[in-house]
């Protein structure tokens, strides 16, 4: 069994130094964060960033998130503002990404930002990746470590399942605590949530004390998580169901559902944190077991449930009925 995962490395000091060397050579590694695993590379290097896009089969118009270790380094690349400072003080490091204007003098690869004037930045909380960032003189560009439009990985093994030998080094930081990608908030104008996550619109409102907009469903793609089919497990997904389809699996939530071999409960105690943490893992497991589709029961649309439903809506986009 162990042989399958020869490219997964425990996060010892020696291995973090190895990771640093690989990144400094403009190669790409798998890194753990508290949200999901990322495919990390030197954000100042066009050559590293090109490799990320190629590995992920990511459309070049879809910019990457840049991961920083501290404010001092961020300020070299980005214009900050008051809303940002308030949110930074309350939530960073943590599962939130900010869209801000890029400084014209910034060294961030223009390929990473898809030529945009804005840039998505975040301060990850996972100790392993924070330790890695501390060893580096540049930020890390890291999208989620999955092939474009598929499910994000929540363990080092998921990253290897996704890329096999094409990824030579994954730092093992265990199972991601949150299990869904960071909240994205655009702060270039009135605060606007572009992607729901563990830090909710309510949490943000409590700090900024002003209306928090949420992305409308316009067709303009300014944040590509906004491509319609996304978070796709590889088989059709149907929402708000009471039963599985023939040869299909059933994702449930709460006590009222009985367990059988087709049913996968996100949280018997109806805990949305637990459900978020298990969602992608369970969808991957269902696909691996050979089920032909996934029916999902109704999930409460509040708190972290909004982030779960946002992902599921995109995953089920083609199968509305």
Chain positions contacting ligand TXA, by CB under 6 A:
33, 35-36, 38, 62-65, 97, 99, 116, 118-120, 122, 124, 142-144, 181-182, 184, 194, 222-225
Query: Which residue in 170, 219, 130 sits closest to 30, CA to CA?
Result: 170
Nearer to Mg ion, 253 or 310 (CB): 310
Residue 144 binds to Mg ion (criterion: CB under 5 A): yes
Chosen from Mg ion, ligand TXA, none, partner binding at 184 (C-beta under 5 to 8 Å by type): ligand TXA
The site that binds Mg ion (CB under 5 A) totals a number of residues, namely 1
Residue 309 binds to Mg ion (criterion: CB under 5 A): no
Nearer to Mg ion, 144 or 196 (CB): 144
SS3 assignment, position 140: strand
| Beta bridge pairs of residue 121 | 66, 98
- 38 token code pair: 């990322």
Least distance in angstroms from the C-beta of 162 to Mg ion? 11
From 106-114, 139-147, 254-262, 300-308, give the range in contact with Mg ion by CB under 5 A: 139-147
Residue labelled with tokens 């708190």 = 303
Chosen from Mg ion, ligand TXA, none, partner binding at 7 (C-beta under 5 to 8 Å by type): none
Chosen from Mg ion, ligand TXA, none, partner binding at 109 (C-beta under 5 to 8 Å by type): none
- The torsion region of residue 282 among left (phi > 0), alpha (psi -120 to 50) and beta comes to alpha
SS3 assignment, position 51: helix
Query: Which helix (DSSP H) or strand (DSSP E) does residue 79 occupy?
Result: none
Q: Collect all residues with Cβ–Cβ distance below 8 Å to 145 and sequence separation of at least 6.
A: 30, 31, 36, 37, 38, 39, 152, 153, 158, 159, 162, 163, 167
Nearer to ligand TXA, 97 or 309 (CB): 97
Least distance in angstroms from the C-beta of 101 to ligand TXA? 9
Nearer to ligand TXA, 155 or 265 (CB): 155
Least distance in angstroms from the C-beta of 8 to ligand TXA? 17
Q: Collect all residues with Cβ–Cβ distance below 8 Å to 317 and sequence separation of at least 6.
A: 228, 229, 230
Nearer to ligand TXA, 63 or 173 (CB): 63
Least distance in angstroms from the C-beta of 36 to ligand TXA? 5
Least distance in angstroms from the C-beta of 309 to ligand TXA? 17
Nearer to Mg ion, 42 or 144 (CB): 144
Burial status of residue 54 (CB atoms within 10 A of its CB: 0-12, 13-18, 19 or more): exposed
Least distance in angstroms from the C-beta of 198 to ligand TXA? 9
113 vs 119: CA distance, rounded Å: 6
Contact 108, 11 (CB under 8 A): no
Least distance in angstroms from the C-beta of 268 to ligand TXA? 26
Angle subtended by helix axes 272-288 and 156-163, to nearest 10: 30
Nearer to ligand TXA, 124 or 191 (CB): 124
User: Cα angle at 312 between 308 and 315, to 5 degrees?
Assistant: 145
Judged by the rule CB under 5 A, the positions of this chain that interact with Mg ion are: 144
């Amino acid at each position: 069994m162990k042989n399958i995962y020869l490219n997964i490395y425990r996060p010892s000091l020696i291995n973090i130094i190895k990771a640093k060397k690989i990144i400094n050579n403009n190669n790409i590694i798998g890194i753990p964060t508290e949200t999901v695993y990322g495919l990390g590379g030197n954000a100042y290097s066009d050559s590293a960033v090109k490799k990320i896009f190629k590995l992920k089969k990511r459309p070049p118009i879809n910019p990457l998130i840049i991961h920083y270790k501290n404010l001092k380094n961020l300020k070299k690349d980005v214009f900050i503002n008051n809303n940002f400072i308030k949110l930074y003080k309350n939530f960073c490091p943590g599962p939130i990404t900010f869209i801000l204007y890029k400084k014209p003098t910034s060294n961030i690869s223009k390929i990473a930002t898809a030529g945009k004037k804005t840039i998505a930045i975040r301060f990850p909380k996972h100790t392993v990746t924070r330790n890695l960032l501390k060893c580096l003189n540049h930020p890390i560009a890291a999208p989620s470590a999955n092939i474009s439009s598929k499910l994000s990985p929540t363990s080092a093994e998921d990253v290897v399942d996704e890329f096999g030998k094409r990824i030579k080094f994954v730092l093992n930081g265990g199972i991601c605590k949150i299990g869904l990608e960071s909240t994205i908030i655009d702060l270039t104008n009135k605060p606007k949530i572009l992607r729901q996550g563990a830090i909710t619109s309510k949490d943000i409102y409590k700090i900024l004390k002003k209306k928090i907009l949420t992305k409308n469903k316009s067709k303009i793609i300014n944040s590509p998580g906004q491509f319609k089919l996304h978070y796709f497990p590889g088989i059709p997904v149907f929402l708000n169901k009471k039963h599985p389809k023939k040869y299909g699996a059933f994702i449930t939530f709460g006590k009222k559902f009985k367990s059988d071999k087709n049913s996968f409960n996100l949280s018997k105690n109806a805990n949305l944190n637990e459900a978020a943490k298990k969602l992608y893992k369970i969808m991957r497991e269902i696909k691996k077991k050979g089920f032909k589709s996934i029916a999902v029961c109704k999930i409460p649309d509040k708190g972290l449930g909004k982030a779960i439903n946002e992902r599921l809506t995109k995953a089920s986009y083609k199968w509305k009925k």
